[in-house]
C-alpha cells in the first residue's frame, strides 16, 4: 500500500518540474497555473490524509523551495542556449538604418513635393524622400539641394 505522504511528494516534485519548465518555455502562464495546481493538490492531500503538522511542513517547504527554484531557473536560463548571449549595437556595426545609402544624396538637387515647414517630402532623383530644413519654410514645388545627412535626417536648403 502506498504511504499517504508519497503522492503529495510526487505532486510537489511535479510542481517544481513544471515551474522550471515555465521559466524555460514561453507558455503565457499556463504552466504556472499547472504548477500551482500541483502544489495546491499536494497540500490538500497532506492536510487531509496525513496531518496538520505535516501540512505545515509542506507549506514551509513550499515557501522556501519555490523562490529557490525560480532563482535557480533564471540562472540556468542565463546559461541556456535559449538565451540571447550577445547584444547588437551600433558600435559593433549593427544598425536598423543604412546611413551610407542616404549619404549619396548629399549635393543632389530635387523638388519639394510638400511644403517644408521645416519637415516634409522632396523628390530627389525620382524618389520621394523625407527631408528637413534648418528651420526655413520652403514652399511646395521649390527647387532644393541636399546639404547634409545627419543620422536618419536628410537636410535640404532652397536653391537660390
Q: What is the pLDDT along the chain (160 residues), one digit of tens a residue?
A: 578 889 999 999 999 999 988 888 888 889 999 999 999 999 999 999 889 999 999 999 999 999 998 898 888 877 777 666 666 666 666 666 666 677 888 999 999 999 999 999 999 999 999 999 999 999 999 999 999 998 889 999 999 8
Angle between helices 30-45 and 52-78 (to 10 degrees): 160
Task: Tally the domains of the chain.
Answer: 2
The answer to whether residue 90 is domain-embedded is no
The answer to whether residue 124 is domain-embedded is yes
Same domain, 73 and 103: no
pLDDT of residue 96: 64
pLDDT of residue 83: 66
Which of 78, 110, 131 is the last residue before a domain boundary? 78
pLDDT of residue 101: 73
The answer to whether residue 1 is domain-embedded is no
Same domain, 60 and 12: yes
Strands 119-124 and 143-150: unpaired
pLDDT of residue 152: 83
Q: Taking the model in full, what pTM does it have?
A: 0.52
The answer to whether residue 121 is domain-embedded is yes
Q: Residue 64 is part of which domain span? A: 6-78
Amino acid at each position: 500500500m502506498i504511504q499517504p505522504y508519497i503522492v503529495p511528494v510526487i505532486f510537489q516534485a511535479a510542481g517544481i518540474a513544471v515551474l522550471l519548465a515555465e521559466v524555460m518555455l514561453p507558455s503565457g502562464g499556463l504552466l504556472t497555473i499547472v504548477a500551482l495546481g500541483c502544489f495546491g493538490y499536494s497540500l490538500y492531500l497532506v492536510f487531509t490524509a496525513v496531518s496538520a503538522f505535516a501540512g505545515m511542513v509542506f507549506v514551509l517547504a513550499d515557501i522556501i523551495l519555490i523562490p529557490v527554484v525560480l532563482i535557480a531557473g533564471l540562472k540556468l536560463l542565463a546559461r541556456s542556449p535559449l538565451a540571447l548571449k550577445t547584444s547588437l549595437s551600433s558600435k559593433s556595426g549593427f544598425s536598423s538604418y543604412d546611413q551610407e545609402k542616404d549619404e549619396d544624396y548629399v549635393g543632389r538637387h530635387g523638388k519639394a513635393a510638400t511644403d517644408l515647414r521645416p519637415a516634409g517630402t522632396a523628390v530627389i532623383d525620382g524618389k520621394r524622400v523625407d527631408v528637413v530644413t534648418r528651420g526655413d519654410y520652403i514652399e511646395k514645388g521649390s527647387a532644393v539641394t541636399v546639404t547634409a545627412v545627419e543620422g536618419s535626417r536628410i537636410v535640404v536648403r532652397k536653391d537660390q
